[in-house]
Amino acid sequence: MQYKNFGKTGHQSSRTIFGAFALSECSQAEADKTLDLILEYGINHIDTAASYGNSELRIGPWMKEHRKDFFLATKSENRTYKEAKEQLHQSLDRLKTDSIDLWQMHYLVNPAQWETAFSDDGAIHAFIEARDEGLVKYIGVTGHGLAAPRMHIKSLEKFDFDSVLVPYNFVLMQNPLYTEEFNKLLNICVEKEIAVQTIKSLAKGLLTSEQAKHNVWYNPITDDNAISNSVNWVLGNPNVFLNTPGDINLLTKVLDTASKLTSKPDDSIMLKDVEKHNITSLFKGDEE
């Protein structure tokens, strides 16, 4: 497994980060098996959120014995100081830990919510206070949709975040405007040593009821070869981390590929996968 400095935190994180949405609806036995698997593959970074169903509750029992083994991250979608502070303490209780390594402002792309989060009574003050009190070490911001890179740039102009999280895959990067804004964000993050996490590596397209077989809100790539190509393509960018998709049934193939990376597939290979598997972009507009 490859490891890389997680921004300027000083932590050498596995470049493949466990996306713990995968634990949102599973039993504790399934969660235990999954966490055993990521340890076996050398994953040392877990990314969860207060809004990920039972994920924090499933991780909690592991923290008494394994807290030292993981860089632990969670998130809050609450935008006011009071609500965010209350949610952090709930997360600490559910995760059975005294502190979080990375607390993230979750899905901060809506302009009105952004204004609230950075207002005088905004959530950002709960994040700063929690860091000052030692309840969290680092602060990040996450986003979905086409507006995410642009809104992250705006957030970084307002506050010195330690990490960002943003969608990134081959099809999405065929959108010229998204590519321009993603690369602008990436350049800022590289210059300032801000960690860049990526999501939706295995996104195949929008979900239909007939395809609802996986614990993700989109239709995922399931072909083994296409999964390998997608993982190698994302991790072929040395400046990013890959957060694993939110389905435990897709995890082993992703981890297996990430543990023995090959060269980044060229565009011709990726375009063949796009055509063969009818891969389309999840996002059609900023509102997504």
Distance between first and last Cα of the chain:
33
CB 235 within 8 A of CB 258: yes
What are the Cα distances from residue 159, in Å, to 23, 81, 163, 202, 256?
31, 16, 11, 31, 37
What are the Cα distances from residue 6, in Å, to 52, 156, 158, 185, 241?
23, 17, 21, 16, 9
Q: What is the pLDDT of residues 191-236, one digit of tens each?
A: 999 999 999 999 887 776 555 566 666 678 889 999 999 999 999 9
CB 160 within 8 A of CB 118: no
In the chain, which residues have pLDDT < 70? 208-218, 285-288
Let me know if 42 is exposed, middle or buried by CB neighbors in 10 A (0-12, 13-18, 19+): middle
Name the one residue in this structure whose structure tokens are 């642009």.
Answer: 150
Global confidence as pTM: 0.94
Name the one residue in this structure whose structure tokens are 């405007």.
Answer: 177
Residue ranges of alpha helices (H) inside 9-50 are 28-40
3-277 under CATH 3.20.20.100, yes or no: yes
Question: So what's the pLDDT on residue 212?
Answer: 54
Distance CA 181, CA 254 (A): 27
Please count the residues of the chain: 288
Q: What is the pLDDT of residues 126-159, one digit of tens each?
A: 999 999 999 999 999 999 999 999 999 999 999 9
Distance CA 228, CA 232 (A): 6
Question: Which of these, 81, 16, 89, lies nearest to 50 by C-alpha position?
Answer: 89
Question: So what's the pLDDT on residue 147?
Answer: 96
Handedness of CA 184, 287, 240, 44 (dihedral sign): positive
Q: Which helix (H) or strand (E) holds 269?
A: helix 267-277
Q: Where are the domains of the chain?
A: 3-277
Work out whether strand 203-206 and strand 218-220 pair parallel, antiparallel, or are unpaired: antiparallel
Question: So what's the pLDDT on residue 122?
Answer: 98
